[in-house]
Amino acid sequence: MLSASLMPGNGAKACTNIIVTRGASKDNSCIVSYAADSHVLYGELYYHPAADWKPGALLNITEWDTARPMGSIAQVPHTYKTVGNMNEHQLIIAETTWGGREELLDTTAVMDYGSLIYVTLQRARTAREAIKVIVDLVNEYGYASEGESFSIADRDEAWVMDLIGKGVDLRDGKNLRKGMVWVARRVPDGYICSHANQARITTFPLDDPENCLYAPDVISFAREMGFYEGADEDFDFSAAYCPYDFGTVRACDARTWSAFNTLCDGVFTYEKDGVTVTEKASDYYDYITGENLAHRMPLFVRPARKLGVKDVADMMRDHFEGTPLDMTTDIGAGGNALPYRWRPMGFSYNGWNYINERAIATQQTGFWFVAQARHDLPDMIGGLLWFGTDDAATSYLTPIYSNTDAVPECFREGNGSMLEYSSTASFWINNRVTNHCYKAYNIMAPTVREAIDKFENSQIDEKVKAMDAAALEAYNRILPKAEKKASSSKDYFAPVRKMLTDYSVSTAQNQFDAWVALEQLLVVKFIDGNVKAQDADGNFIHSKYSERMPAGLVQPGYTDKWKEAVVRDHGDVIRER
């Protein structure tokens, strides 16, 4: 039977996060990646300007997954600007859903997990503040969703937080247990963390508030509910509130393993009881394949090298390539090494149940990002959200500064939907590109990946650095005047934000136009299973007699794995006599 986290649903219940601390990054920034994976979620960039609110103002809460009205909460006097999952103070919050014990779902609560993220981004400046805001909101209004893992980072620290509600007391049908049980652990500097729809925090220090925070009743409530009987120091949050099984490990924790495996060059190095431990990633094959569910992976590991945005972005494009779970090599990949399996993930045949692999990159992504909280730049400039839509493996990330004052039209909320095609929307052009590739993946996807790498590398290596320098020069020029007249209502930094906004919008729109052209190229170059030749400048090679007739046309055919399967199934009929 498929686990709850594998079953189809409306929400973003199949997501992946990677967390990189300052000491593990190339540029002294905290990095968080996120893929919002859902079959019904439309890819767009949420934007809320900073605002002041009158006493008594209320905020209506709408469930992020379903648009269902949940109720209202008291508004705060001032809310911060948010762009996607980042705010103007470089705070980042992302998530993955893990379900957990069904009896802990609170059907009377107001705050769903998505609203909890976006409301917190409007109210908190730092990761520690965010944890407090999350806890306070849930304690006052209840938690209406399943179990979640949150990635929470600012310019200094990165945290991972596991949480789940307390359910409804069925003795009288009223919620006598409003709130949640939770644990938050700071990712040690120089380390990385990852989570993918499975609660990751097991045991945790009980007296280290600098690095670990938790609900005061996180252990006693588990005892009350019959989830745990042992000593406090042996309490395992994940085992108590999110019991793992074959499905959650194979389809969820396996993605975390793959991220660690690649970013650590196949070696897990971590601290345990004050001792440095070094293990091979392959030692955990028994766990990720479901053979030994007790062999849990470490929560934090050291990467093999300092990581940058491109390292993390490319990790989000992973399909287990080069591992025993490689989705491009078995017959399920068809004749052109397609690293996807259409849903449902599980199927039964001849009395046996099977589950296809679920990689980090997946076809049903709404939007995804790699966010940077850059310690060495002021908040005005430091927050950078590399944002994209649809399948990460065949879509690009474009830089959006978190202090932008506008959203590019291609990402604008309301520009299309899952039921409404828009020719000006990033989500739809990326879907067109990737669905072309699904027909002949190993032939077509490399063309798309080449275009992705060219754009992202030029932004990372050159253009963003130039924009940072120009914005910082303007910021430093304005800063003395702004500090001198701090009581003034004048917006001294408006010119800086305009620079950042113009850059974010124009870069996104120009790349959108480039992707429209790429989609047209794919149609022409790969039509009908043929591949047209191009010269070094990208021009199609034509025949000696006509510029309208291609030359050098090739037909790549199929993989040997596919040929073997066809011969085994149908060879007696199609074999030459």
Other residues' Cβ atoms within 10 Å of the Cβ of residue 324:
10
Residue 11 has pLDDT above 60, yes or no: no
- Which tens digit of pLDDT belongs to each residue from 480-503? 988 888 777 789 999 999 999 999
3-state SS, residue 103: helix
- Which tens digit of pLDDT belongs to each residue from 390-401? 999 999 999 999
Q: What confidence score (pLDDT) does residue 176 get?
A: 63
Average pLDDT, integer, range 244-270? 95
361 domain residue, yes or no: no
Instruction: For residues 216 and 335, state if they share a domain.
Output: yes
Instruction: For residues 340 and 403, state if they share a domain.
Output: no
Instruction: For residues 478 and 554, state if they share a domain.
Output: no
367 domain residue, yes or no: no
Contact indicator for 539, 533 with CB cutoff of 8 Å = no
Confidence of residue 13 (pLDDT cuts 50, 70, 90): low
Amino acid at 165: G
Q: What is the 3-state secondary structure (H, E, C) of 333-355?
A: HHHHCCCCCCCCCEEEECCEEEE
Q: Give residue 568's domain range.
A: 530-577
**Angle, in degrees to the nearest 10, between helices 441-458 and 494-525:** 160
509 domain residue, yes or no: yes
452 domain residue, yes or no: yes
Q: What confidence score (pLDDT) does residue 174 get?
A: 58
pTM summary value: 0.95
234 domain residue, yes or no: yes
Instruction: For residues 142 and 76, state if they share a domain.
Output: yes
CA angle (389 as vertex; 61, 186 as ends), nearest 5: 65
* Cα–Cα distance, 96 to 35 (Å, whole number): 9
- Which tens digit of pLDDT belongs to each residue from 438-483? 999 999 999 999 999 999 999 999 999 999 999 999 999 999 988 8
Instruction: For residues 25 and 108, state if they share a domain.
Output: yes
Q: Within 106-253, where are the H helices?
A: 113-123, 127-141, 218-224, 237-241, 246-248
Last residue within a domain, chosen from 490, 514, 529: 529
- Which tens digit of pLDDT belongs to each residue from 15-72? 999 999 999 999 999 999 999 999 999 999 999 999 999 999 999 999 998 999 999 9
Sign of CA dihedral 371, 374, 378, 379: positive
Instruction: For residues 392 and 285, state if they share a domain.
Output: no
Number of domains in the chain: 3
Instruction: For residues 535 and 517, state if they share a domain.
Output: no
* Cα–Cα distance, 244 to 498 (Å, whole number): 49
Average pLDDT score, the chain: 94
372 domain residue, yes or no: no
Residue 73 has pLDDT above 80, yes or no: yes
Amino acid at 8: P
Two tokens, residue 79: 């809310």
Instruction: For residues 403 and 341, state if they share a domain.
Output: no
Instruction: For residues 481 and 418, state if they share a domain.
Output: yes
Of the candidates 204, 252, 213, 203, the one whose C-alpha atom is nearest the C-alpha of residue 99 is 252
Average pLDDT, integer, range 169-184? 75
271 domain residue, yes or no: yes
Residue 9 has pLDDT above 60, yes or no: no
328 domain residue, yes or no: yes
Average pLDDT, integer, range 509-514? 98
Residue 8 has pLDDT above 90, yes or no: no
Average pLDDT, integer, range 191-213? 97
- Which tens digit of pLDDT belongs to each residue from 329-369? 999 999 999 999 999 989 999 999 998 999 999 999 999 99
Average pLDDT, integer, range 141-162? 97
